[in-house]
Structure 1
Amino acid sequence: MYRYDEFDARIVSERVAQFRGQVNRRLSGELLEDEFKPLRLQNGVYLQLHAYMLRVAIPYGQLNGRQLRRLAVIARDYDRGYGHFTTRQNIQFNWVALKDIPDVLESLAEVEMHAIQTSGNCIRNTTSDHFAGAAKDEIMDPRPWCEIIRQWSTFHPEFAFLPRKFKIAVTGADHDRAAIRVHDIGLHMRQRGDVVGFEVHVGGGQGRTPHLAALVSEFVPETELLDYLEAIMRVYNRFGRRDNKYKARIKILVSELGADEFRRLVREEYAAQREHEKIALPQEEIARIHAYFAPPELIPASGPNEAFEALKVEDKEFARWARINLHPHKVDGHVSVTISLKPIGGAAGDATDAQMMTVAHLAETYAHDDIRVSHAQNLVLPHVALKDLPDIYRELKAAGIATANESLITDMIVCPGLDYCNLANARSIPVGQAVQQVFADPDYQEDIGRLHINISGCINACGHHHVGHIGILGVDRKGEEFYQITLGGRADEKAAIGDIAGPGLKADDVPGALKRVVDTYRDLRTDKSELFIETLARLGHEPFKEALYAAD
């Protein structure tokens, strides 16, 4: 993984010292909250419903054991014993006292971490495929380019105060696990002969006006990528609306101009770049960054592992976990392991300090010191030998994080909602927990198969409800919480925005209504291999709407 150079270290250290002074002035009353707000947002500090919240950047979702141990210590010493992993592959601490935040940032800097550009109208953390560098279906590893984009975008003077926040995602596999089509810019790595490049999608996003990104270029060579990104950003900076924050995202600009006109403006801006303005990105520099992401030296294994196969026979729970939470690796005899942070009755994405310590130990001992955060709010060990899985499973089970539900119906994306967020209209966590209880039986979950439920507590869509196979949006109606259901969303290479099924439901009615929808699917599918989203596409939404609103 990438290691800080002297410039990274100095930038982060100077920012911590600067923010310490700003916090001291706020605490003394020299700065009022309105004056402090733009300063704290530049350092990942939000004012939530009950307290300040600190969002820490995890670039492209990659951590090592030392970094995760430090996050665990922060959770234990400065928070309430846990952290919350987000859909942006970051971590949030909800209860850190303002006076302690400079100390927390200084502690993070010691392990090459920070909170810069995790908030505000700037280019946020670049996200990627959580199996990058390991996935069997990967064409190329996208992480080096995520790092190059991080270096280019950090403190970029032109793009520090954009019309609105800006998010970039990169994937290197045909199967999109990074949701690139619902990002402001989505990059899909491609290869033409010996030339590596990017298919560029622009203008995706969720929130109150969800859009899928438009294809702006079918192929931008890697050496030209940063210049092309600058052209897109300059068009956005020039024409993006600043008079209305609800219409300030680039998705609105692309929609209002039309994809063809936006594409023309980008080509025009790109062509206008003079030679001395272009970003010299020589092949040697590209190679240098790539070297940081060289895969671990794994020894291929031929045939099954006896200990692994024997435990699957002896232990049905282990066998289920192995079926569901393991993923194919490009090296024989190895897998990638999803560590579910969605135990039945838990809060999605939360991990205690002790659980983080366990994962750090497992990564250091068995997984080449590599940990990933998925945009579905889980953790991943990307490089694991089959022979080590029994030991890993035993430790995960002891820590309470061996739930076998990756991509099943209880593996929900859930935003913090009204329990924490001052923007929320409704609670998300209790609704998610109630839905989990209805589908808690492991055999029932496995029979249902891959089905994504996403829950948001407000129209800002931090829970990605628009792209859930079933989406749930909390809304407020005269002080009462209702939940609007959408059907048919998806975030992969066949990305789609879900359609609203009908009137909102009361919280108590949601679990039963979803059970009727799911049982209708089980009755109507051709066989168990046909997924919910496929049955929905084949039959249309009407049978499922009828089930949703049928009387118990």
Structure 2
Amino acid sequence: MSTPARPANRHHKRPRGEGQWALGYREPLNKNEENKKADDGLNVRQRIIDIYSKGGFDSIDPADLRGRMRWYGLYTQRKPGIDGGKTAILEPEELDDRYFMLRVRIDGGQLDLKQLRVIADISNDYARGTADITDRQNIQLHWIEIESVPDIWNRLEAVGLSTTEACGDTPRVVMGCPLAGIDAAEVIDGTAQIADITSRYVGDKAFSNLPRKFKSAVSGCSAHCTVHEINDIAFVGVTHEGEQGFDVWVGGGLSTNPMFAKRLGAFVRPEQVHEVWAGVCGIFRDYGYRRLRHRARIKFLINDWGAEKFREILETEYLGYRLADGPAPEEPRGGRRDHVGVFPQKDGNFYVGFAPRVGRVDGDTLHRIADIAERHGSGRVRTTVEQKMVILDVAPDQVDSIVAELEAVDLRVNPSTFRRQTMACTGIEYCKLAIVETKATAVKLIDELETRLPGFTEPLTINVNGCPNSCARIQVADIGLKGQLVVNDKGEQVEGFQVHLGGSIGVNPNFGRKVRGLKATAEELPGYVERVVRNFDKQKNEGETFSEWVQRADEADLK
């Protein structure tokens, strides 16, 4: 694997206290940095195989258990029965269960049927049937025992999948459009560029100790389905002087300090993508802030530097050449970004996108999806960044049959707005950071809204998050729900949500509006959402989106 050259010029002014390597600040300034300096996270793999899988959970070194094992997609899951009020109070070892969440990375969301069936088998054999499709196109399994991990890796790697750097301070999965190469409206197919980045750099120790996680996307989708505005780095398909290539964006991210990515204004040719990716990742590694974890994402660096300086450093210190100036992407095509429904491919076949409930499936369902796809002549399925799935390459005479089979097992090809556009993070069921339940709450909300508002068909995103970290992208949802404990009308502390309204990405990106004091208990949630959606439905102007309406609505109509 190639290692990019270290930058020669290290004289950019920034207080040394931020812990930037490029300024000579190599001493670790927190426990995470100490742990990474002591041993590269990638080295834990052999210990898992040789020691931990044989000695069991109690043999695992704590520094590996709560640190380096993430480099291979492994997190301890939350011990059952610990309520959300204790999340921030208990020590890590008190929250840890003896089981793991395991994240399978699916770069570009691309799976063949053999790969899908292997994940399904692992789910059934080792994960109590669990499987969640994430909003970054991965599949997460739960209840994994350390003794099972080597066999799981062998099975995954035999079909070209892995868990390498699925978590940790590393380059995470590279997202891509699930329709890459088949969509007649795409600007450019980014499949080769995703493969180039992952084959060169995933598992490369040049990039295995970043200040924090590094999220990437490469797509030429005309619907902008990979949400480039909120990735650490994103390549967006553009046409420049008759040539197809990419516009590069850096520094997007949500969590407790949301920022939209900044355009560097550079045109990147297809063959340059991996070099530009490595350069941006290298800047993050060398100049990124390592003192405070909550300021260690690349968004803080580019926010301080600005896009112009960032591009200059990229070109002069990392690439060694100037990039051409290029155009901004076209506005995303109208409608939803999720690719749910039946649509023509450019080869005359069709793709069929369908909506599980908030990404929750299971091993048997994954097998069923593979069987349905195979019966209808397809060998390829895709995951989306909206917790959905797509089956490709369906012949015209097979469309009605495949739709009927998917719908019959509750995989909706023609879902309600609420089924289609509600997402939820893992929540307190398994996550040690969560304060409230999310998946079951979101499923109940969908069912209630379908009953209460059967005629509502406008686009409306509802994103449910179990804590402030925004894994489910609450700040850019029409209705973003941030889990917290609230007091009900009986004076009891119960699970509930702070409400963010009117967030959006795309044509008019903005973060959701927090209405003073606007919180709802989990029990009140269906009634609250019904009320605000009815107000929107009554008051909206022709063509007005929910986000646009929220910006002008009276606070009374939002409560």
Q: Is 1:59 the counterpart of 2:107 in the alignment?
A: yes
Identify if the C-alpha distance between structure 1 residues 410 and 65 changes in structure 2 by more than 3 Å, giving closer, same or farther: closer
1:281-321 CA deviation, whole Å, 9 max, x = no partner?
xxxxxxxxxxxxxxxxxxxxxxxxxxxxxxxxxxxxxxxxx
Native 8 Å contact 1:26 1:32 kept in 2: no
Q: Secondary structure at the match of 1:382?
A: strand
Give the partner amino acid of 1:63. L
Q: Which residue of 2 aligns with 1:474?
A: 483
Q: Which residue of 2 aligns with 1:152?
A: 200
Q: Secondary structure at the match of 1:419?
A: coil
- How does 1:46-125 map onto structure 2 within 5 Å? 46-50=75-79, 51-125=99-173
Q: In 2, distance between residues paired with 1:35 and 1:168? A: 25
Q: In 1, distance between residues paired with 2:51 and 2:485? A: 36
Identify if the C-alpha distance between structure 1 residues 465 and 181 changes in structure 2 by more than 3 Å, giving closer, same or farther: same
**Shift, 1:480, TM fit:** 4.4
Q: Which residue of 1 aligns with 2:404?
A: 394
**Shift, 1:15, TM fit:** 9.1
Q: Is 1:454 the counterpart of 2:463 in the alignment?
A: yes
Q: In 2, distance between residues paired with 1:409 and 1:354? A: 21
Q: In 2, distance between residues paired with 1:506 and 1:137? A: 43
- Structure number with higher strand proportion: 2
Native 8 Å contact 1:405 1:411 kept in 2: no
- How does 1:211-290 map onto structure 2 within 5 Å? 211-270=259-318, 272=320
Identify if the C-alpha distance between structure 1 residues 394 and 448 changes in structure 2 by more than 3 Å, giving closer, same or farther: closer
Native 8 Å contact 1:467 1:488 kept in 2: yes
Q: Which residue of 2 aligns with 1:362?
A: 372
Q: In 1, distance between residues paired with 2:501 and 2:373? A: 37
**Shift, 1:244, TM fit:** 0.6
Q: Which residue of 2 aligns with 1:282?
A: none
Identify if the C-alpha distance between structure 1 residues 53 and 271 changes in structure 2 by more than 3 Å, giving closer, same or farther: closer
Instruction: Tell me the TM-score normalised to structure 1 length.
Output: 0.80
Gap runs ≥5 in structure 2: 1-42, 80-98, 323-338, 488-492
1:393-413 CA deviation, whole Å, 9 max, x = no partner?
232233232363275465311
Q: Which residue of 2 aligns with 1:546?
A: 556
1:486-521 CA deviation, whole Å, 9 max, x = no partner?
122223454332222232222222221111110011
Native 8 Å contact 2:355 2:419 kept in 1: no
Q: In 2, distance between residues paired with 1:15 and 1:366? A: 42
Identify if the C-alpha distance between structure 1 residues 367 and 449 changes in structure 2 by more than 3 Å, giving closer, same or farther: farther
Q: Is 1:23 the counterpart of 2:32 in the alignment?
A: no
**Shift, 1:56, TM fit:** 0.7
Instruction: Tell me the TM-score normalised to structure 2 length.
Output: 0.79
Aligned length: 476
1:206-264 CA deviation, whole Å, 9 max, x = no partner?
11111100001331222322222232222222221111110000011111223333233
Q: Is 1:517 the counterpart of 2:532 in the alignment?
A: yes
Q: Secondary structure at the match of 1:42?
A: helix
1:345-369 CA deviation, whole Å, 9 max, x = no partner?
xxx2111222211211222232531
Q: In 2, distance between residues paired with 1:113 and 1:399? A: 27
Q: In 1, distance between residues paired with 2:340 and 2:420? A: 13
1:49-98 CA deviation, whole Å, 9 max, x = no partner?
03311111111111111111111111111122231111111111111222
Q: Which residue of 1 aligns with 2:510?
A: 496
**Shift, 1:109, TM fit:** 1.7
Q: Which residue of 2 aligns with 1:431?
A: 441
Q: In 1, distance between residues paired with 2:419 and 2:161? A: 33
**Shift, 1:327, TM fit:** 4.1
Greater Cα shift, 374-383 or 33-42: 33-42
Identify if the C-alpha distance between structure 1 residues 370 and 220 changes in structure 2 by more than 3 Å, giving closer, same or farther: same
Give the partner amino acid of 2:386. A
Native 8 Å contact 2:232 2:251 kept in 1: yes
Q: Which residue of 2 aligns with 1:315?
A: none
- How does 1:242-391 map onto structure 2 within 5 Å? 242-270=290-318, 272=320, 325-331=340-346, 334-342=349-357, 348-391=358-401
Q: Secondary structure at the match of 2:482?
A: strand
Q: In 1, distance between residues paired with 2:507 and 2:162? A: 32
Give the partner amino acid of 1:23. Y
Give the partner amino acid of 2:483. G
Greater Cα shift, 27-36 or 460-469: 27-36
Q: In 1, distance between residues paired with 2:246 and 2:538? A: 42
Greater Cα shift, 513-522 or 408-417: 408-417
Q: Which residue of 2 aligns with 1:277?
A: none
The share of aligned pairs that are identical, in percent, is 26
Q: Secondary structure at the match of 2:387?
A: coil
Identify if the C-alpha distance between structure 1 residues 85 and 256 changes in structure 2 by more than 3 Å, giving closer, same or farther: same
Give the partner amino acid of 1:238. D
Q: In 2, distance between residues paired with 1:395 and 1:409? A: 18
Q: Which residue of 2 aligns with 1:345?
A: none
Q: Is 1:204 the counterpart of 2:252 in the alignment?
A: yes
Identify if the C-alpha distance between structure 1 residues 161 and 33 changes in structure 2 by more than 3 Å, giving closer, same or farther: same
Q: In 2, distance between residues paired with 1:124 and 1:534? A: 33
Q: In 2, distance between residues paired with 1:148 and 1:446? A: 46
Identify if the C-alpha distance between structure 1 residues 404 and 502 changes in structure 2 by more than 3 Å, giving closer, same or farther: farther
Q: Secondary structure at the match of 1:423?
A: coil
Native 8 Å contact 1:409 1:453 kept in 2: no
Q: In 1, distance between residues paired with 2:416 and 2:390? A: 11
Q: In 2, distance between residues paired with 1:208 and 1:463? A: 12
Give the partner amino acid of 2:196. I
Identify if the C-alpha distance between structure 1 residues 26 and 205 changes in structure 2 by more than 3 Å, giving closer, same or farther: farther
Give the partner amino acid of 1:96. I
Identify if the C-alpha distance between structure 1 residues 151 and 332 changes in structure 2 by more than 3 Å, giving closer, same or farther: closer
- Structure number with higher helix proportion: 1
Q: In 2, distance between residues paired with 1:468 and 1:389? A: 32
Q: In 1, distance between residues paired with 2:220 and 2:185? A: 9
Q: Which residue of 1 aligns with 2:499?
A: 485
Identify if the C-alpha distance between structure 1 residues 379 and 252 changes in structure 2 by more than 3 Å, giving closer, same or farther: same
Q: Which residue of 2 aligns with 1:297?
A: none
**Shift, 1:43, TM fit:** 1.3
Give the partner amino acid of 1:186. A
